[in-house]
């Protein structure tokens, strides 16, 4: 399908001070939109000026939460071009989320071309300061005018872009995490593996309570026994125990993170022993008491690597690596961000350069 382009004749004033960008509150001049209807399939792909969506009050997304999304980044490269990190993998995961939520898949190459053309058109919005990026938010929502409790027959896929500041403007600092023992995020057979808004809404109350208690994040346990470690709200979790990199095995309840997958590939290629398995929460506290828990860190698009300095479970708290980022976490952060900025060899073909279409 040919993507039409309508340029914004009234462009916004671009931010000057990149140290004040923050996250997700400033948006570029354009957006990509394509729609699906039962009889037409996906049709009319287009880039248009950034604008509000028009939805009927009975639109299914507003009543039944039938929506999915992705999170990715574009980076200013040192050679003046713009790079994208594993965008096709984001598109593949988008389709897996669509299958789980009974939504139509969208051709991976169309998703890729749409993002490339959109970023190219708004490439002047890509920030250049260290640690900054252009955050990309592909989204698919159900649309129409029906209150029937069933999958919609009309859908909208769109992509918006947001210049975002450095996640660590004052350097990487370990966070405090509360291991949740009351609420659960996902259960076997549920939606935990899909990147859908309901999974995040389900975590808000526990996260709010944890933050009020002085923690930055919540670490979820399995929903059946509340015995095994799963993931943090916006990150997969990894631990270094006895010099081995240990992370929870994937399943119905854990999002298959692209950063997670990247770290595991890097770890294996660097000769680290990697274990993907069930991790009893008691094992972490026993390993800490025995001096075998060396590091803990989260992996995700926003932070890349987020070291954990303290874990609290029930009435027990442990401090990890003297509340400092460990050498393994630092190494992965340096290598992965280096690959993303093309300062470290990309032996995996993870980074693609945005073409100049005009």
Q: What is the pLDDT of residues 326-356, one digit of tens each?
A: 999 999 999 999 999 999 999 999 999 999 9
Do the Cβ atoms of 95 and 108 come closer than 8 Å?
yes
Q: What is the predicted pLDDT for the residue at 168?
A: 82
Domain ranges of the chain: 4-166, 175-340
Residue 21's Cβ-side half-sphere holds a number of Cα atoms within 13 Å equal to: 29
Please say whether the beta carbons of 320 and 296 come within 8 A: yes
Which pLDDT does position 130 carry in this prediction? 92
| Residue 197, number of CB atoms within 10 A of its CB | 16
- Stretch 180-186: mean pLDDT: 93
Give the residue among 232, 243, 227, 148 at the shortest CA–CA distance from 185. Answer: 232
pLDDT given for residue 170 in this prediction: 73
**pLDDT tier for residue 223 given thresholds of 50, 70 and 90:** very high
Percent of the chain with pLDDT over 70: 100
Give percent helix, percent strand, percent coil of the chain, each to the nearest 5.
Answer: 25, 30, 45
- Is the pLDDT at 358 greater than 80, yes or no? no
Tens of pLDDT along 51-70?
999 999 999 999 999 999 99
Q: Is the pLDDT of residue 249 over 80?
A: yes
Written as six digits, the tokens of 133 are 């990026």
At the top level of CATH, the class of 4-166 is: alpha beta
Is the distance from CB of 338 to CB of 344 less than 8 angstroms?
yes
Q: What is the C-alpha separation between 264 and 272, in angstroms, rounded?
A: 9
**Which residues 6+ apart lie within 8 Å of 17 measured at CB?**
none
Pick from 304, 349, 311: nearest CA to 331:
304
* Measured distance CA(142)–CA(60) in Å, rounded: 6
Mean of pLDDT over the chain: 96
**What pLDDT does 65 receive?**
96
- Per-residue pLDDT at 167 exceeds 90: no
Per-residue model confidence (pLDDT) at position 22: 92
Residue 240 is predicted with a pLDDT of: 98
Q: Quote the CA–CA distance of 320 and 239 in Å, as a whole number.
A: 10
In the structure encoding, which two tokens stand for residue 170, read together?
Answer: 């004052």
Contacts of 95 (CB under 8 A, 6+ apart): 105, 106, 108
Q: What is the DSSP letter of 124?
A: G
* CATH number of the structural domain 175-340: 3.20.10.10
Show the beta-strand stretches assigned E in 77-216. 82-85, 133-143, 154-164, 175-179
Residue 242 has pLDDT above 80, yes or no: yes
Confidence of residue 257 (pLDDT cuts 50, 70, 90): very high
The pLDDT assigned to 189 comes to 92
E strand or H helix at 249, and its extent?
Answer: none
pTM: 0.96
**Angstrom distance (rounded) from CA 163 to CA 135:** 6
Confidence of residue 169 (pLDDT cuts 50, 70, 90): confident
């Amino acid at each position: 399908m040919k993507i039409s382009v309508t340029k914004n004749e009234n462009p916004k004033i671009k931010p000057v001070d990149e140290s004040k960008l923050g996250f997700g509150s400033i948006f570029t001049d354009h957006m990509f939109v394509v729609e699906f209807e039962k009889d037409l399939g996906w049709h009319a792909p287009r880039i248009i000026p950034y604008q509000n969506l028009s939805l009927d009050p009975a639109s299914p997304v507003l009543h039944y939460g039938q929506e999915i999304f992705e999170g990715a980044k574009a980076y200013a490269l040192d050679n003046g071009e713009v790079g994208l990190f594993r965008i096709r993998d984001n598109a593949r995961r988008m389709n897996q989320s669509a299958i789980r939520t009974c939504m139509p898949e969208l051709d991976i190459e169309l998703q890729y071309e749409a993002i490339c053309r959109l970023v190219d058109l708004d490439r002047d919005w890509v920030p250049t300061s260290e640690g900054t990026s252009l955050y990309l938010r592909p989204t698919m929502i159900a649309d129409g005018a029906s209150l029937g409790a069933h999958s919609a027959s009309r859908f909208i896929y769109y992509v918006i872009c947001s210049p975002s500041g450095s996640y660590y403007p004052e350097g990487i600092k370990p966070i405090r995490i509360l291991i949740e023992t009351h609420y659960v995020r996902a259960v076997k057979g549920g939606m935990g593996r899909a990147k859908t808004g309901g999974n995040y809404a389900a975590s808000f109350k526990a996260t709010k309570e944890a933050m009020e208690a002085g923690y930055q994040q919540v670490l979820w346990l399995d929903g059946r026994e509340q015995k095994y470690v799963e993931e943090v709200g916006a990150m997969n979790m990894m631990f270094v125990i006895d010099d081995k990199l240990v992370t929870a095995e994937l399943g119905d309840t854990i999002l298959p993170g692209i950063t997670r997958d990247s770290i595991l590939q890097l770890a294996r290629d660097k000769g680290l022993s990697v274990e993907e398995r069930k991790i009893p929460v008691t094992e972490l506290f026993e390993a800490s008491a025995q001096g075998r828990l060396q590091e803990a860190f989260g992996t995700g698009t926003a932070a890349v690597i987020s070291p954990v300095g303290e874990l609290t479970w029930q009435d027990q708290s442990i401090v990890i690596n003297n509340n400092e980022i460990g050498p393994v976490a630092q190494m992965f952060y340096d290598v992965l961000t280096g690959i993303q900025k093309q300062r470290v060899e990309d032996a995996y073909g993870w980074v693609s350069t945005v073409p100049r279409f005009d």
